[in-house]
A = this chain, B = another copy of it.
Amino acid sequence: MKILLVICDGMADRPVEAFKGMTPLEAAEVPNMDRLAREGQTGLMDVIAPGIVPGSDTAHLALLGYDPMVVYTGRGPFEAAGEGVEVRKGDVAFRCNFATVDAKMHVTDRRAGRISSDTDKLASALNGMKIEDIDIIFKQGVDHRAVLVLRGPGLSPWVSAVDPHHEGKVLVSRGLEPEDEKTARILNEFTKRSYEILNKHPVNIERVRVGKPPANIALARGPGSPPEVPSFTEQHNGLNGAAVVGISLVRGLCSLSGLEIIPVKGATGSTDTDLVAKAKAAKKALTTHDFVLLHFKAPDLYGHDGDARGKVAFIEKIDGALKKVLDGLSDTVVCITADHSTPCSLKDHASDPVPVLVWGTGLRHDSTECFNELEAASGGLGHIRGNELMQMLSGLAGRNPKFGA
């Protein structure tokens, strides 16, 4: 059997007063998920461990079968890989913003007026430089975003960011220990040079001329090294996998773990994404791969906005799109879950466990009648841990060898 893992980012929630104490998933009409819950099994999952508030990156590491407590250093390498930059063992990668600073290196606009064009030209001006014996790889992302990869000997991810995270002085990066100082020094030098180069760049001269804030510095944060882990295929008894995912963070993480990224026109990683196109792409990928991860970002965005009605509506859209995958689907273990809770009441991630649903022809069912946080609490899967999920799914799909005789 094959495996389809549907991850609805931040879908799990807490009671919403406007819904008479129901969660958005309880309030949503999800006939397809409910059918799978009725025919299959549900449970609750501590994606990392009880009480731990997962990030999307640490959560997905766990869901792919790795232990984020051991292998996670920071977000940078996933963002870089998500933007198509190769990240190698020993590299240190960062997320960056194009920002606006004054001559005293005070940040006056962290997003350089949300610059949305010509960042490729600015990135080219920084990419390929060398600082000491370290190669600089720099690439623009969406809007004001970019990624930075440092490559060379003696680098370490244990350095502080230069991005002050709000208006104010650009920070000086420091290493956690003496052996981390080289990386901090390189990053500080890169930051200084990025200003020198970008401040006089024609794109910025033109921006200033028309009254826009110049994108005259690249501010790095989220340092990390790629996790030194076996590939997804090595980790899971030879399963080959693919991912349909719109946002760069999760796309990069999937890519680094060796999943094939299926490009989908209209997959934006946001609320305007083409859900049906993604669902169809996932279904097609199942014909060529043992495992497909289908990721929807928007429930998390609605959670961060505190928009419970928007969250309900999008969950219903996911349910509708799933019908395109499920119709006529055979010989596949389907799992639907979330990477973490993003309660609308908190507008942020929370440690509350997420509901998880597992369905497959011929597999067991439990007494669950529908799919939501409350029902899942008494579901047949019980309480599981995120980094055990893949092993459970591949076991149910008959993909795991017998251990012993």
Which residues of A approach B to under 8 Å, CB–CB? 14-15, 21, 23, 41, 44, 48-59, 68, 72, 75, 222, 249, 343, 345-346, 348-352, 362-367, 373-374, 377-384, 388, 390-396, 398, 400-405
Contact = CB atoms under 8 A, between A and B. Distances in A.
Given A58-B403, A400-B351, A51 B393 contact: yes
A380 B378 CA distance: 7
Contacts of A383: 382-384
A377 B388 contact: no
Given A53-B402, A384-B50, A366 B377 contact: yes
B400 A53 contact: yes
Given A49-B391, A392-B51, A402-B349, A374 B366 contact: yes
Most chain B CB inside 10 Å of its own CB: which residue of A51, A362, A402: A51
Given A51-B391, A75-B405, A351-B396, 17 more contacts: A15-B363, A15-B365, A50-B384, A51-B395, A52-B403, A53-B400, A53-B403, A54-B402, A54-B404, A55-B404, A68-B403, A68-B404, A352-B363, A366-B374, A366-B377, A367-B374, A367-B378
Given A365-B15, A400-B51, A402-B55, A351 B249 contact: no
A381 B400 CA distance: 27
A379 to B, nearest CB: 7
Most chain B CB inside 10 Å of its own CB: which residue of A52, A75, A366, A374: A52
Number of copies: 2
A131 B345 CA distance: 63
Contacts of A51: 388, 390-396, 400
A44 B392 CA distance: 14
Contacts of A14: 362-364
22 contacts: A14-B363, A21-B365, A50-B384, A52-B400, A53-B395, A53-B400, A54-B404, A55-B405, A57-B405, A58-B403, A59-B404, A72-B404, A343-B362, A346-B398, A348-B402, A350-B396, A352-B395, A366-B374, A367-B377, A377-B380, A378-B380, A382-B383
A359 to B, nearest CB: 12
B391 A50 contact: yes
Nearest to A399: B51
Nearest to A373: B364
B380 A382 contact: no
A344 B12 CA distance: 36
A68 B54 CA distance: 27
Contacts of A343: 362
A391 B353 CA distance: 13
Contacts of A380: 44, 374, 377-378
Contacts of A222: 405
A204 B227 CA distance: 61
Nearest to A221: B405
A405 B249 contact: yes
Nearest to A76: B405
Given A55-B402, A55-B405, A404-B55, A44 B395 contact: no
A256 to B, nearest CB: 14
Most chain B CB inside 10 Å of its own CB: which residue of A364, A379, A398: A364
A396 B352 contact: yes
A349 B402 CA distance: 7
A57 B404 CA distance: 6
Given A362-B345, A366-B374, A392-B50, A56 B15 contact: no
A222 B404 CA distance: 9
A75 B21 CA distance: 46
A388 B49 contact: yes
Nearest to A23: B364
Nearest to A360: B14
